[in-house]
Structure 1
Amino acid sequence: MAAASGSFDVEAATRAYLDTLQGPARAQSDAYFEGGYWLILWGTLVGILADWLLLRFRLAAKFRDIGERLSNRRWVVTGVTALLYTLVATIIVLPWTIYTGFFREKQYGLLDQAFGAWGGEQLMNLGIELLIAPLLVIAIYALIRRAPRSWWLWATGVIGAFMMVGMVLGPVFIAPLFNDYTEMQPGPLRDRIEAVAAKYDIPAEHIYVFDQSKQHKRISANVSGLGPTIRISLNDNLLERTSEPEILAVMGHEMGHYKLNHVWWIVGIYLAIFAAGLFIASRVAPMLIARHGERWGVRDIADPASLPILAICFSAWMFLMTPATNSLVRIAESKADAFGLEAAQEPDGFAKVAMRLSEYRKIEPGPLEEVLFFDHPSGATRVRMAMEWKAKHVKDPQVVVPEEGYLDSE
């Protein structure tokens, strides 16, 4: 399109959107998101406390002893220890999980499930963890025994393999446990989504709608899977609560993640951070065991009873790396935003979606606040990006003043 005239004021257009969130709604949005800053710290401390209790009362050693009574095979002992560790640690942190995942979400109107339905999903999550965690721990401790100095590097590769398997199988076998996925009905909207996908050679044979409204009102979409499991999915909230330009803006963003290979970018980021954390754990854990191992009943780092020690080291590392992981992921999200604006060419739809996300994201953080705590660009950043795109690519752009109450639409 022809370049826009200089009469369009990007800041005025941005402010027209931002000013639609005022009063109690903005205060609640800010309070919810800012409270999450503390949850990062307290959540880490709760996890570390749970692991410390397992050591202090020699529960991890008892889990190992149970495994040794059942079998003299090391992998069986490790698997039993990991299974019991996962189960008991989950029970210890259950009050925190209920508060953060249920009561706090209810307090801010962000969860529609009754406690029974929510609890049922937590049990399904636990069941999946009880299947996967022992396999991963068995593999890691086998590496610890065979490569005492370099196991952290090989373990990073194992974690990467588990992540890849999860990306392939998750959309087909895991996600449908929690939501029903149905093919999107043919029609003009599907045609437009397919047209955008075709423009960038993005597979669109399967476009699914999933019923996330039974859990909450948040809008969501994704391009998930690898190889034969690739599919485009959007939740029913996106269809029911937003307009066509907004839907196309969201789908353009998600297609950007696929086209820009962000799944590999993000996996690579996390594996690099995991590798550093495992390296630190491989050096710190033996020192802790040398000093406190007898009291905890932990023999050495190859003893599966050392699992809580490794978990404490790793949890502390991931907490310290939160600003880095947030920033690196946010960069990818920003690039997907830019791609989505170009793909969908719906800047006002994109701005409206950014404003809707203020239901659970602070809309205008300070610069340092955004760097430290935001794993997506803030609403203000996204709206401004959309208006800058509009100024450059839309002929004779106009400042849009959104209709009153559009953020409350269901």
Structure 2
Amino acid sequence: MKRLYVGLIAIFAVYVLTFVVYLLKGDLFHIPLEMVGTQADPHTFMTNEEIAKAESLSRIRSLAYFVSSPLQIGLTLVLLGAAVRFRNGVEKLFRASFLQMAAFVLLFSLLMDVLFLPVDLFLYRMDRAYGISTETLAIFWSDQGKDFVVNLLGTIVMAGLFRWLLRRSPRRWWIGFWFISIPIILFITFIQPVVLDPLYNDFQPLQNQALKQQILQLAAQSHIPADQVYQVNMSERTSAINAYVNGIGGNARIVLWDTMLQKLQPDEILTVMAHEMGHYVERHIYLGLLYGIALSFVGFWLASLAYRFFIRRWGSIWGIKGEQDLAALPVLLLIVTLMSFVSAPAQNAFSREIEHRADVYAMRMTGDGSAAIRAFQQIAKVNLSPVTQPKLVQWFRGSHPTIMERIRYFEQFDH
């Protein structure tokens, strides 16, 4: 066991060192020569200090991303011994299987959250230091608590379903789990705008009536049956700019951050909102759900094979009794974390495609490339976002086309 841990630590150390050198030392953000001096060149709309801060913050965030998932996988492996002790403890405390499972999930989730708290605090401090976060410590701790409760309840439900299906069909549980996950995902997507999001922020109808009428007029032209636009008080958490559309059916909402209202001009906001309406009109939320469901089918199948192989090959090393052992649940977490990390490029490639489609729709509706360019220049400036990213970072973290790519597209409509 000691030899295994030493090997894991050595591999992780080499991995981290590689990314430290790549992300912190490399020349990652140069733009093509043909872009120098154009509207996509950050030197034309950002100060040297803003460019340096944007690149520095991006390096730090990327390093945290590439380290976090392998770190979670490694910690989960190391903590399998603790999982066995937790199992022994809850089996002594409770006779009911469900209570044993719920208590085990509570203990292991709490342990993982405590161990990862320094990472969350580090990123919080970094965002504060760079002026992106306006979040107080009180809000930070409140969000941490809400995240823990929401994730805990969701994990208990999913772990309960997994163990029930595993008992009924030890070899084909993944098919049933996949089927059951579909209505659960749809339900969560449906209730998110009206139940989950308000746990964290206050939503209210857009107060700027003139802008509201312009947005509703744009919605009417898009044949969107909207009678309301929402603003959310994100300024208590961040100075960054954003807008989004989420939910499905009658609960779908188009939302602007109040920071956008403060920092963008009306014509710039309209191009951003036309983009968000493009997601709605072209049913990108549903396409995203279908893509995720299809991807999860393959994922659940591979996870079932990996889970069975791991338990049979190495389970006894830690004292795991079999696939239905409570102490084996963290193995599933380990596998899901690994697969989520590995599948990120595929998920982001799909996301970038629909984001570009929404940009196309926005230009079709407004034709105002100048406003769109100004909007994204301001987004880069305020959000401290580099206009370009190295390919590796874009593959794993880039859910949108780079700002440079988007500005180059909008230039076709800059008249």
TM-score (norm 1): 0.85
Q: Give how far 1:48 is off.
A: 1.1
- Partners of 2:264 and 2:378 within 8 A in 1: no
- Partners of 2:368 and 2:413 within 8 A in 1: no
Question: Given the alignment of the two structures, is residue 24 of structure 1 paired with residue 46 of structure 2, yes or no?
Answer: no
| Counterpart residue identity of residue 257, structure 1 | H
- Partners of 1:10 and 1:388 within 8 A in 2: no
Question: Given the alignment of the two structures, is residue 375 of structure 1 paired with residue 361 of structure 2, yes or no?
Answer: no
Question: Given the alignment of the two structures, is residue 103 of structure 1 paired with residue 125 of structure 2, yes or no?
Answer: yes
Partner deviation per Cα, 1:362-382 (whole Å, 9 max, x = no partner): 203356654454210111111
Q: Give how far 1:79 is off.
A: 2.8
Q: Could you tell me which of 388, 391, 402 is aligned with 1:364?
A: 388
Question: Given the alignment of the two structures, is residue 288 of structure 1 paired with residue 313 of structure 2, yes or no?
Answer: no
Q: Give how far 1:241 is off.
A: 1.0
Structure 2: segments with no counterpart, 5+ residues: 1-33
With 124-133 and 223-232 compared, the bigger mean Cα shift is at 223-232
| Counterpart residue identity of residue 102, structure 2 | G
Q: How far apart in 2 are the matches of 1:70 and 1:207?
A: 51
With 40-49 and 358-367 compared, the bigger mean Cα shift is at 358-367
With 320-329 and 359-368 compared, the bigger mean Cα shift is at 359-368
Which residue is 1:6 aligned to? Answer: none
How many residues in Structure 1 have an aligned counterpart in Structure 2? 380
| Counterpart residue identity of residue 21, structure 1 | M
Aligned positions of 1:45-56 closer than 5 A: 45-55=70-80
Question: Secondary structure, in 3 states, of the residue corresponding to 2:385?
Answer: coil
Q: Give how far 1:81 is off.
A: 2.2
Aligned positions of 1:40-119 closer than 5 A: 40-55=65-80, 58-100=81-123, 102-119=124-141
With 25-34 and 375-384 compared, the bigger mean Cα shift is at 25-34
| Counterpart residue identity of residue 382, structure 1 | R
Question: Secondary structure, in 3 states, of the residue corresponding to 1:21?
Answer: coil
Q: How well do the aligned residues superpose, as a CA RMSD in angstroms?
A: 2.4
**Distance change in 2, residues 1:90/1:158 (3 Å):** farther
**Distance change in 2, residues 1:128/1:371 (3 Å):** closer
| Counterpart residue identity of residue 388, structure 2 | E
Q: How far apart in 2 are the matches of 1:77 and 1:366?
A: 47
**Distance change in 2, residues 1:220/1:275 (3 Å):** same
Question: Given the alignment of the two structures, is residue 160 of structure 1 paired with residue 185 of structure 2, yes or no?
Answer: no
**Distance change in 2, residues 1:153/1:108 (3 Å):** farther
Tell me which stretches of 4 or more aligned residues in structure 1 moved more than 6 Å.
9-12
With 121-130 and 223-232 compared, the bigger mean Cα shift is at 223-232
| Counterpart residue identity of residue 349, structure 1 | A
Q: How far apart in 1 are the matches of 2:76 and 2:200?
A: 29
Structure 1: segments with no counterpart, 5+ residues: 1-8, 391-396, 398-410
| Counterpart residue identity of residue 316, structure 2 | E
Question: Secondary structure, in 3 states, of the residue corresponding to 1:93?
Answer: helix
Question: Given the alignment of the two structures, is residue 211 of structure 1 paired with residue 230 of structure 2, yes or no?
Answer: no
Which residue is 1:37 aligned to? Answer: 62
Partner deviation per Cα, 1:343-376 (whole Å, 9 max, x = no partner): 2333222112222332243203356654454210
Q: Could you tell me which of 197, 201, 221 is aligned with 1:199?
A: 221
Which residue is 1:182 aligned to? Answer: 204
Q: How far apart in 2 are the matches of 1:322 and 1:36?
A: 16
Partner deviation per Cα, 1:3-34 (whole Å, 9 max, x = no partner): xxxxxx99976347762134121122122223
- Partners of 2:216 and 2:228 within 8 A in 1: no
Q: Give how far 1:134 is off.
A: 0.4
Q: How far apart in 1 are the matches of 2:119 and 2:393?
A: 25
Question: Secondary structure, in 3 states, of the residue corresponding to 2:79?
Answer: helix
Q: Give how far 1:146 is off.
A: 1.7
Q: How far apart in 1 are the matches of 2:287 and 2:43?
A: 31
| Counterpart residue identity of residue 375, structure 2 | V
Q: Give how far 1:172 is off.
A: 1.0
| Counterpart residue identity of residue 304, structure 1 | L
Partner deviation per Cα, 1:135-159 (whole Å, 9 max, x = no partner): 1111122122222222223323333
Question: Secondary structure, in 3 states, of the residue corresponding to 1:216?
Answer: coil
| Counterpart residue identity of residue 299, structure 1 | K
Relative contact order higher in (CA < 8 Å, ≥ 6 apart) = 1
Question: Secondary structure, in 3 states, of the residue corresponding to 2:204?
Answer: strand
- Partners of 2:38 and 2:44 within 8 A in 1: no
- Partners of 2:352 and 2:399 within 8 A in 1: yes
The alignment-based identity, stated in percent, is 24
Q: Give how far 1:59 is off.
A: 2.2
Question: Secondary structure, in 3 states, of the residue corresponding to 1:365?
Answer: coil
**Distance change in 2, residues 1:256/1:214 (3 Å):** same
With 36-45 and 62-71 compared, the bigger mean Cα shift is at 62-71
